[in-house]
Copies of this chain bind each other. A is one copy, B any other.
Amino acid sequence: MLLSKSCVYGLRAALYLAAKRDGSYYSIRTMSEELDISFHFLTKILQQLTADSLLESYKGPNGGVRLSAKGKKSTLFDLVIAIDGPGLFTECALGLPGCGSEEPCPLHNSWIDTRASIENMLKRTNLTKIAEEGKEKHFRLTADGHFSWS
């Protein structure tokens, strides 16, 4: 799997928030139900995004989370880094420590190109833009496709 499950859940929730263009807070409970993700698990993942200032949270009644200014400008790359860390973009394809051209493994030359193409894809994919497109074209965000972009 390219991305961890935590990361995928985080991306789906971020797309959810990005599709709502107003600045109000959305409850994690509601999001978890609409997206079919465990509430407590999603909470922990979104805390990572909040800690990285991609989201803002507010406690209490009518509280929830929303995209920060930084979050609205973010790309999928930023979200992946916040949740899975930079490993995918720095590590050796054969798992050897210290991937680099000084001591390359046999896959190094092939891998750095492919790795860059993954990175570029994520960097050029703006969260808000992809959410807008998903909303327009009614792309699905859940297994059963039952989620509605509202």
Q: A103-B145, A118-B114 are in contact. Are A108 and B139 (CB under 8 A)?
A: yes
State how many copies of this chain the complex holds: 2
A98 to chain B, nearest CB (A): 9
Most buried by B among A95, A113, A121: A95
State whether A2 touches B88 (Cβ < 8 A): yes
State whether B139 touches A106 (Cβ < 8 A): yes
State whether B96 touches A1 (Cβ < 8 A): no
Taking the complex as formed, is A70 at the interface, i.e. its CB lies under 8 A from any CB of chain B? no
In the A-B complex, list the 3 residue pairs whose CB atoms are closest, starting with the nearest.
A106-B134, A114-B121, A106-B139
State whether A142 touches B96 (Cβ < 8 A): yes
* A contact residues, total (Cβ < 8 Å): 41
Determine which of B105, B140, B142, B143 lies in contact with A140 in the assembled complex, contact meaning CB atoms within 8 Å.
B105
Taking the complex as formed, is A52 at the interface, i.e. its CB lies under 8 A from any CB of chain B? no
State whether B125 touches A110 (Cβ < 8 A): yes
Taking the complex as formed, is A20 at the interface, i.e. its CB lies under 8 A from any CB of chain B? no
A6 to chain B, nearest CB (A): 11
* Interface membership of chain A positions 10-33, coded 1 if the CB is closer than 8 angstroms to chain B and 0 otherwise: 011001000000000000000000
